């Protein structure tokens, strides 16, 4: 086993790591520390947050700092304010037994004058975000002439946040005779290109498989209809009563909506997104760190650099398009040796994204079954019982009330009392989940299965006439697409489909058919207004009604050949703006 003395740390630093309870170096520390202490070769380390990378570069940076020289000797660049603060906090703990070493964080969003004053006093180690660092260099307040080591922390994040140009400018101010260290969770081409540009014959370390997620994180996904995402999120929160996690959404709008709904439904949740001011953001983050909030709903951008250990869950309310982003998200749980779960909520068409992530990162996903109502009730009940057992009883406080309480409960035996007490706490919960639906869908197969089921039970369908056909570019798949899109779902059965030259028939579940025929105010296919109506008199016959025959005549015979757009659909029909094309049309017709 390698120890901290084996890697060459000074007694002051050995004492500091012992104070922190670190017993042995993590793999990245065992590889990086001796290299930085005894060589000036450049280093690329593929390491995620949670691997101990801050100490891996922080400890040797402190040990090699000359305390008599107040000039800046090490420059650490990282993507966000939160990460800057975190790095400085960690390094100050490591420097606890060292004298005359100043470590300073410089980042945007706060008063630059304060940072300038601190720089004037001298800071041997400066940890900065690229924007503010460059600003201070340009104002000639941060001088880099004595810098011997540059650390690019979370290099991939800095690049994806668009800091490439700032990095170029900053590095042009640092003497060429420097050691450059690059830490990154992923090794994309962009990261490799900065390595090529700024580093000389770098030594490479890796503590994770290339582009792999942390090993102590389990990856699972639930497949539900898009409309059930929120319901599933709630169930996940309910089935993990001790959850402490981040829910990632794709947009600010989703983030706000999901957080608002969670709060309304009584969860300890809040959101961080780009519309918050720095102080609002600090406030939410403070509450989350202090565990007053259990669930933080965030966009990827807002969550950058957000460094919170001990997260039990990362939930992907939407999967990101970029597999690298998934690796970053899931790397926020399972830190410091703890296990964590990264759960994704997907609908059937997103299975491809899961496969993409598996291919590019080596992560393996498990498909999970959305928790049922009874599963959730059981977990919640047992957690309630655990809480009751663990609660601290303040004898003195409750003593005066007890005689009255005992009197009221007289005649209730232990079992009855337990039942009453559990019901009082739990009835609302039980009622909510009593008839909870099964949210799981099984992907592409399910539509086929549903259709097969539908075929065996055709009477549950209503046959609907649709006024567009092959001539309009329609085919069965596009007709299904038209219906799915209209209802934003593919969770209902579709029976027989016939796409003929000028019009089509589709069998839909009764409710869906009713909505399709009566509830749609305006329907178009490729810019052509579409009429739909029941084909009930012809159910199963494949023939057209006289009304529909008449329509065919008007559409084709009357105008000879292919119709012009304006002649087609509802507008060419005697019924005017017909049933499916506009509610208003229906009203007008009734007035007539």
Q: Distance (Å, rounded) from C-alpha 35 to C-alpha 17?
A: 19
* Minimal distance, residue 50 CB to ligand AMP, in Å: 5
CB 317 within 8 A of CB 254: yes
DSSP one-letter code for 266: T
Nearer to ligand AMP, 76 or 237 (CB): 76
With residue 205 as reference, give the H or E element that holds it. strand 203-206
* Minimal distance, residue 451 CB to ligand AMP, in Å: 51
Nearer to ligand AMP, 191 or 208 (CB): 208
Nearer to ligand AMP, 54 or 133 (CB): 54
Nearer to ligand AMP, 336 or 405 (CB): 336
Q: Distance (Å, rounded) from C-alpha 36 to C-alpha 417?
A: 66
| Cross-strand partners of 464 | 506, 534
Question: Taking Cα atoms as reference points, which of 516, 531, 418 lies closest to residue 472?
Answer: 531
* Minimal distance, residue 25 CB to ligand AMP, in Å: 5
Orientation of helix 27-38 relative to helix 53-63, angle to 10°:
20
* Minimal distance, residue 85 CB to ligand AMP, in Å: 13
Nearer to ligand AMP, 336 or 477 (CB): 336
* Minimal distance, residue 212 CB to ligand AMP, in Å: 15
Instruction: Locate 219 and state its tokens.
Output: 């990856």
* Alpha helix ranges (H) inside 128-222: 130-138, 155-160, 164-172, 189-198
DSSP one-letter code for 224: B
* Contacts to ligand AMP by CB under 6 A: 22, 25-26, 29, 49-55, 309, 335-336
**What are the DSSP calls for 405-472, one per residue?**
HHHHTTT--HHHHHHHHHHHHHHHHHHHHHTPPP-B--THHHHHHHHHHHHHTGGGEEEEEES--GGG
Nearer to ligand AMP, 335 or 447 (CB): 335
Nearer to ligand AMP, 150 or 468 (CB): 150
* Minimal distance, residue 51 CB to ligand AMP, in Å: 5
| Cross-strand partners of 46 | 184, 206
Nearer to ligand AMP, 50 or 569 (CB): 50
Q: Distance (Å, rounded) from C-alpha 330 to C-alpha 292?
A: 22
* Minimal distance, residue 58 CB to ligand AMP, in Å: 8
* Minimal distance, residue 121 CB to ligand AMP, in Å: 27
């Amino acid at each position: 086993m390698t120890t901290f003395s084996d890697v060459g740390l000074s007694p002051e630093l050995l004492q500091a790591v012992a104070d922190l309870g670190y017993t042995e170096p993590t793999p990245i520390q065992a590889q990086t520390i001796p290299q930085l202490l005894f060589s000036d070769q450049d280093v690329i380390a593929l390491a995620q947050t949670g691997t101990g990378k801050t100490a891996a570069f922080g400890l040797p940076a402190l040990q090699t700092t000359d305390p008599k020289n107040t000039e800046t000797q090490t420059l650490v660049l990282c993507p966000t304010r939160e990460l800057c603060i975190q790095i400085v906090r960690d390094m100050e703990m490591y420097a606890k037994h060292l004298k005359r070493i100043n470590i300073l964080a410089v980042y945007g969003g706060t008063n630059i004058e304060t940072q300038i004053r601190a720089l004037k006093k001298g800071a041997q180690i400066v940890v900065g975000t690229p924007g503010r660092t460059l600003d201070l260099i340009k104002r000639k307040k941060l001088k880099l002439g004595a810098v011997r080591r540059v650390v690019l922390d979370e290099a991939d994040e800095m690049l994806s946040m668009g800091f490439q140009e700032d990095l170029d400018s900053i590095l042009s101010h640092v003497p060429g005779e420097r050691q450059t260290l690059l830490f990154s969770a992923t090794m994309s081409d962009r990261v490799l290109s900065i390595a090529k540009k700024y580093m000389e014959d770098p030594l490479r370390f890796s503590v994770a498989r290339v582009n792999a997620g942390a090993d102590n994180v389990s990856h699972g996904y639930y497949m539900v209809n898009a409309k059930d995402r929120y319901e599933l999120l709630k169930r996940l929160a309910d089935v993990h009563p001790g959850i402490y996690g981040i829910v990632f959404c794709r947009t600010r709008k989703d983030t706000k909506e999901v957080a608002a709904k969670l709060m309304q439904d009584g969860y300890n949740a809040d959101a961080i997104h780009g519309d918050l001011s720095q102080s609002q953001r600090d406030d939410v983050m403070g509450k989350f760190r202090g565990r007053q909030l259990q669930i933080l709903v965030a966009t990827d951008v807002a969550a950058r650099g957000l460094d919170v250990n001990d997260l039990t869950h990362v939930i992907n309310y939407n999967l990101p398009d970029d597999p690298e982003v998934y690796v970053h998200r899931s790397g926020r749980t399972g830190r410091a040796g703890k296990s964590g779960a990264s759960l994704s909520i997907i609908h059937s068409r997103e299975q491809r994204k899961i496969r993409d992530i598996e291919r590019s990162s080596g992560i393996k996903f498990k498909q999970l079954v959305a928790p049922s109502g009874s599963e959730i009730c059981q977990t919640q009940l047992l957690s309630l019982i655990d809480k009751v057992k663990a609660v601290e009883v303040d004898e003195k406080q409750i003593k005066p009330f007890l005689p009255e309480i005992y009197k009221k409960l007289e005649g209730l035996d232990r079992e009855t009392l337990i039942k009453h007490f559990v019901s009082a706490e739990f009835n609302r919960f039980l009622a909510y989940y009593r008839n909870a639906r099964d949210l799981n869908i099984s992907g592409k197969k399910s539509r086929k299965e549903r259709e097969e089921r539908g075929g065996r039970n055709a009477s549950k369908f209503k046959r609907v006439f649709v006024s567009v056909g092959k001539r309009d570019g329609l085919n069965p798949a596009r007709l299904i697409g038209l219906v799915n899109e209209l209802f934003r779902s593919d969770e209902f059965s579709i029976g027989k489909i016939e796409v003929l030259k000028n019009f089509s028939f589709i069998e839909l579940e009764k409710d869906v058919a009713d909505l399709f025929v009566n509830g749609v105010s305006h329907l178009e296919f490729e810019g052509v207004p579409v009429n739909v109506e029941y084909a009930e008199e012809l159910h199963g016959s494949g023939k057209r009604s006289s009304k529909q025959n008449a329509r065919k005549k008007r559409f084709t015979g009357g105008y000879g050949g292919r119709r012009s757009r304006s002649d087609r659909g509802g507008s060419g029909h005697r019924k005017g703006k017909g049933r499916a094309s506009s509610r208003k049309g229906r009203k007008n017709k009734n007035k007539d």
